Amino acid sequence: MNPISNFFIAQESNNYRPGALSYKALFIYALLLLLLRLLLASLPAQSAAVESQTLMDLINAERSNRNLTTLTTHQSLVFAASQKSQDMIERDYFAHIDPDGNYIWGRITAAGYGAYKILGENLAVDFLTSEGMVKAWIDSPTHRDNLLHRDFLEQGLVALYGDFNDRYTNLTTSLFGTRVAGTFTPPPPPSQQLSQPSLPPAGGSAPTPAPPPPVALVPAQQPVSNPTTTQPTITPVTSTQRPIEHRPCCAQTGTDGLLSKLNLQSAVATSRIIFTLIGIMLLGIFSIDSVIISKHEAAVVRSHSSAHLFGLMILVLISILIWWW
């Protein structure tokens, strides 16, 4: 008799008590499922390889390689980027314009960025690595224009993970900006020095002095603004307008498309598939053995009846783990 069949199928050779339904076998099944769940649970964290500071460092590396000024991190831009990424996750949209019809410029000024000369925004979703995201931006002409723009001096970037459109993925907001330089303050005008008239010597008479010649007073020099420090004209705009000095770029999705989305959820999908297969296998064994035992009207001792019940309970737990844990 085939030992595999003898282990799984209830038959006369095993007294209709297959080893697959023993307490020891069921304990091994449960232990295997637990180990698989613990192992696969660590994979999503390992795949979360898109990190905000790494992205900003990679952007500066791309600029440095092209002899461009590296960007300093400005916390107001970081805060505005965090708000935008979180808002996209919470409201399930991926666009430069939020569901209320607003660009991010209002968030930037509200975060305290102050008067600015130019602003830019790049978005990304569904990337597996920071390197892959920056490469996709470099390969995209519009994203590249923002990332390598000569006028940008500061940046703020936040990549967040969360449930977006019924999947676990990352959304990234990358902001660029340059603030208006400080106003030139001229030095104070020099103070006039007035000479005091000389006093006559004490005692005796003194000849009447001749009237002093008229003195022509030169007016104080007016401060002249430095012609090289011109103040750029910033036209006030509302949050729904899109002026020239704002540079939102098209949204960038992962270059691997659907494969990237599947990879980001591969741990969850793999665990569900494994648990389902094991559950179906156990359910199949229970069903076949129950039919055989019933057909041969074999007496099953209480211990094996309990084993069947315990096996069904394991299946219920598997279902819970598959869909909820």
Tens-place pLDDT, residues 83-110: 999 999 999 999 999 999 999 999 999 9
User: How far, in Å, are 32, 307, 321 from residue 324 at the CA level?
Assistant: 19, 25, 6
Helix axes 302-323 and 23-41, enclosed angle (nearest 10): 10
pLDDT (mean) for 59-87: 97
Please give the structure tokens belonging to residue 24. Answer: 């020891």
Please give the structure tokens belonging to residue 325. Answer: 């844990």
Please give the structure tokens belonging to residue 142. Answer: 């519009």
In 3D space, the residue among 164, 97, 87 whose CA is nearest the CA of residue 125 turns out to be: 164
Q: Determine the pLDDT at residue 99.
A: 96
* Bigger pLDDT: 67 vs 34: 67
Pick from 86-90, 240-244, 246-250, 310-314: least confident: 240-244
Determine how many CB atoms are found less than 10 A away from the CB of residue 147: 24
Give 17-76 as a DSSP string: --GGGSHHHHHHHHHHHHHHHHHHHTHHHHH-B--HHHHHHHHHHHHHHTTPPPPEE-HH
Given a cut of 50, is residue 21 above it in pLDDT? Answer: yes
Helix axes 52-65 and 130-139, enclosed angle (nearest 10): 40
Work out the pLDDT band at 12, boundaries 50, 70, 90: confident
Give 161-192 as a DSSP string: EEEETTEEEEEEEEEEEEEPPPPP-PPPPPPP
Given a cut of 60, is residue 284 above it in pLDDT? Answer: yes
Work out the pLDDT band at 124, boundaries 50, 70, 90: very high
Given a cut of 80, is residue 293 above it in pLDDT? Answer: no
pLDDT (mean) for 184-199: 42
Q: Determine the pLDDT at residue 287.
A: 75
As separate numbers, helices (DSSP H) first and strands (DSSP E) second, the chain gives 11, 5
> What distance in Å separates the CA atoms of residue 163 and residue 132, rounded to the nearest whole number?
21
* Bigger pLDDT: 229 vs 79: 79
> What distance in Å separates the CA atoms of residue 32 and residue 19, rounded to the nearest whole number?
17
Given a cut of 50, is residue 111 above it in pLDDT? Answer: yes
Work out the pLDDT band at 18, boundaries 50, 70, 90: confident
Whether this model's pTM surpasses 0.85: no
Given a cut of 80, is residue 172 above it in pLDDT? Answer: yes
Pick from 16-25, 108-117, 245-254: least confident: 245-254
Q: Determine the pLDDT at residue 266.
A: 58
Give the count of alpha carbons within 13 A of 28, CB side only.
Answer: 8
At CA 27, angle to CA 23 and CA 29, rounded to 5?
120
Q: Determine the pLDDT at residue 316.
A: 60
> Coil, strand or helix: which one is 154?
strand
* Bigger pLDDT: 279 vs 223: 279
> What distance in Å separates the CA atoms of residue 82 and residue 156, rounded to the nearest whole number?
9
Q: Determine the pLDDT at residue 183.
A: 32
Average pLDDT score, the chain = 71
Q: Which residue's structure tokens are 């960038």?
A: 252
Work out the pLDDT band at 41, boundaries 50, 70, 90: low
* Bigger pLDDT: 286 vs 57: 57
Q: Determine the pLDDT at residue 107.
A: 95
- What percent of the chain clears pLDDT 70, i.e. is strictly above it? 58
Q: Determine the pLDDT at residue 3.
A: 80
pLDDT (mean) for 188-214: 43
pLDDT (mean) for 211-234: 32
Given a cut of 80, is residue 311 above it in pLDDT? Answer: no
User: CB-based burial of residue 168 (10 Å sphere; 0-12 exposed, 13-18 middle, 19+ buried)?
Assistant: middle
At CA 297, angle to CA 295 and CA 298, rounded to 5?
120
Q: Determine the pLDDT at residue 91.
A: 96
